Each structure stands twice: as C-alpha cells, then as structure tokens.
Amino acid sequence: MKPNFKGSMIKCDPDNILTDEKKRILRKHIIPNAVQMHKDRLLVQPIGGNIRVTHLTGALCPHFTIPQSHHTTGVPDTDFVLYVAAGPTVPGIVAWAIYCQLDPSGRPLVGVANFGPRNALDIFSSTRTLTHEILHTLGFGIEMFKKKI
C-alpha cells in the first residue's frame, strides 16, 4: 500500500512502482519539458522576493511534504512553486493537480501535482499530460474562472 496523495492508501501494483528509471525520466525529461512548454507560451509577471509557502489546507494540498525552509525563508528567485509526487493512481487516471496558495490578488503561487508512475516511460504523452496538469495549478480551471467572472 502506498499513499495516493489524496489522503488514503492504494494498492500499488508493479506498474505503479517508481523505479530509478522512471524517477530519472520524470526529473530529467517530463517535468522540465512540461515547465518549458509554459515558459515558451506564458508571459509571467515576476513577483520579486521569496515565495513563503503557508501551511497548506484543503482536501489535497496537505498530503505533500514541504521543506521547512519553504515555510520560513521561502523559495527564492521563483514566481511559482510546484510540488510533484509520483504516487499510484487508479486505472484511467494518469495525473491530477491543483493550486494550493494564492497571493492577495488571486494569483496562484503554489500548486501540487501527482503523476502516476505507471505512465512515466512514455515521455511524449507524459509531458503533454503534465503540461495540462500544470495549467490547473496555474489557475486554469472552472473554479478560478468562476471567481473572475
């Protein structure tokens, strides 16, 4: 049994094991490629200073481990903080993500994503999936659009 990062445990079959090879692919290819796709397309207004991560609340965000320094001194030289886990997912769910902390103007500052290890070997498809999920952490979703209308 492994955490699903939704507050419960899930039976981990062999495909959901985060092997060293899958971890390498996620860290060296999928995550950087997905982030770069957004860097190439979005005009980000720099915030300046450190992002201090609050103690996250809600249904999903608290299940992620945040380094203590991110709560105290903050994360320097960044405009958004994304925590990515590789916990098992149920069949049919490749990944999920959500924003967790907003600045006073409503801009997302912190998000979390869980990417099922069973899918990590397909770099092209996995990059596209994580790119989509990162959009949710940046506020592209029905909840945020309802707030802005």
pLDDT at residue 42, rounded to an integer: 85
The stretch 37-55 carries a mean pLDDT of 88
Q: What integer pLDDT is reported at residue 148 of this predicted model?
A: 62
- Annotated active-site residue in 133, 134, 136, 137: 133
> Tens digit of pLDDT for each residue in 91-139?
888 999 999 999 998 899 999 999 988 878 888 999 999 999 999 999 8
Joined tokens for residue 42: 């979005």
Query: What's the N-to-C CA distance of the chain in angstroms?
Result: 42
Q: Tell me, what's the pLDDT at 68?
A: 97
pLDDT digits (tens, 9 = 90+) for 47-77: 889 999 999 998 999 999 999 999 999 999 9
Are 60 and 5 contacting, i.e. CB atoms less than 8 angstroms apart? Answer: yes
Count Cα atoms within 13 angstroms, Cβ side, for 70: 16
Q: The CATH number of the domain where 122 resides is what? A: 3.10.170.20
- Total domains, the chain: 1
- Residue 96 sits in which domain range? 2-148
Q: Is the pLDDT of residue 149 over 60?
A: no
Which is nearest to 142 in space by CA: 104, 99, 83, 80? Answer: 99
Contact 118, 80 (CB under 8 A): no
34 burial class (0-12, 13-18, 19+ CB within 10 angstroms)?
Answer: buried
Residue 146 has pLDDT above 60, yes or no: yes
133 is catalytic: yes
Q: Which two tokens stand for residue 97?
A: 């993500």
State phi, psi for 72 to the nearest 5 degrees: -95, -70
